[in-house]
Amino acid sequence: TAKERQSGVEVYDAAADGHDRGRLVLLSEFRRGMAEGHLVLHYQPKVSLRTGAVVGLEALVRWEHPTRGLLLPGDFLPAVEQTGLIEPLTDCVLDLALAQVRAWTEQGVAVPVAVNLSARSVHRPDLPARVLSALASHGIPAGMLRLELTESALVAEPARARDVLGRLHSAGVSLSIDDFGTGYSSMGRVKNLPVSEVKIDRSFIAEMATTTEDAALVRSVVDLGHELGLTVVAEGVEDPATAAALAELGCDVGQGYLYAAPMGAAEMTDWLAGRLP
Ligand code: C2E
Ligand code: CA
Ligand code: CA
Ligand code: CA
């Protein structure tokens, strides 16, 4: 906060005030940008490490800012996540992703899409209803949508999160644990959730060729994941040697710059041509 009270004297912190004002400007621009259709999705393929087939896409939000150019989630999500704007963002991303799935379906391209959920969204009691109405309004079967969430999202109110996830799962939406291996991760917790996929955080993938501990973690997540019947995805696969090492360990799916960087929908349509059955 800009002003702190210290024994009755107001201390003015100019740096903090500038920071707060910047944040407020960003948030009000964001609200307008979202209403004016400046949020767009880029898509990145998830590829079978065994066959090379595309098994799905992840949708990643970007903000086409009128003066600052294309902004990445890291530029605005942390501020947005602290406000009530995160819920409209989740709704907006769901609508954009499902409209695109619909467009691809109409072109004969059937590819499931994963959408990221912020921790707050996982605690929204109306999330399952919102997701199902978005699916219905775009005429998309639930099996075409996957939701990615981090385990930290489940720590605050596990009972509420479990209820929301259970209802999504029952409706046929697949759930995925993102950034696995960081923070509060534990297979013990995942085991008790209706999830079908874990994504190993890219920090472990980047180091697995050179660091024994990271390779060991990847190996144990793959083995434990398979024992629990989960699909195991490696994020941030950047080179063929890492892809080969992952395939050797039995990891199911890779995602990363080796295959493709995230790209706009039109570019993805071209990229997919000839790569899908
Ligand atoms: P994430 O879900 O872990 O997404 C993967 C991030 O890694 C993306 O960054 C992607 O561009 C980047 N990436 C992909 N392949 C590689 C690679 O080979 N090497 C490296 N170094 N990076 C790679 P991005 O798009 O900047 O997104 C950052 C984070 O923002 C995401 O991390 C996710 O947590 C969040 N996010 C993105 N879109 C949404 C959204 O629609 N809603 C919410 N709530 N969060 C989102
Ligand atoms: Ca993700
Ligand atoms: Ca991730
Ligand atoms: Ca991440």
Name the strand (E) or helix (H) holding 258.
Answer: none
Cβ distance 236 to 256 under 8 Å? yes
pLDDT of residue 151: 85
Cα separation of 231 and 197, whole Å?
A: 5
Cβ–Cβ < 8 Å for 200, 224: no
**pLDDT tens readout for residues 70-82:** 999 999 999 999 9
Cα–Cα distance measured from residue 234 to residue 261, given in angstroms and rounded to the nearest whole number: 15
Residue 175 tokens, joined: 């759930």
Q: Would you say 90 and 121 are in contact if contact means Cβ atoms under 8 Å apart?
A: yes
Separation of alpha carbons 255 and 261, rounded Å:
9
**Which of 30, 41, 60 should be mutated for ligand 1, with most atoms under 8 A from CB?**
60
242 Cβ inside 6 Å of ligand 1: no
Ligand 1 lined by 77 (C-beta under 6 Å): yes
**Residue 214 pLDDT exceeds 70:** yes
Residue 5: the pLDDT is 44
Q: How confident is the model at residue 15 (pLDDT cuts 50, 70, 90)?
A: low
For the chain, the average pLDDT equals: 91
pLDDT tens figures, 77-119: 999 999 999 999 999 999 999 999 999 999 999 999 999 999 8
Question: In this structure, how many other beta carbons lie within 10 angstroms of the beta carbon of residue 67?
Answer: 5
How far, in Å, is the centroid of ligand 4 from the Cα of 121?
16
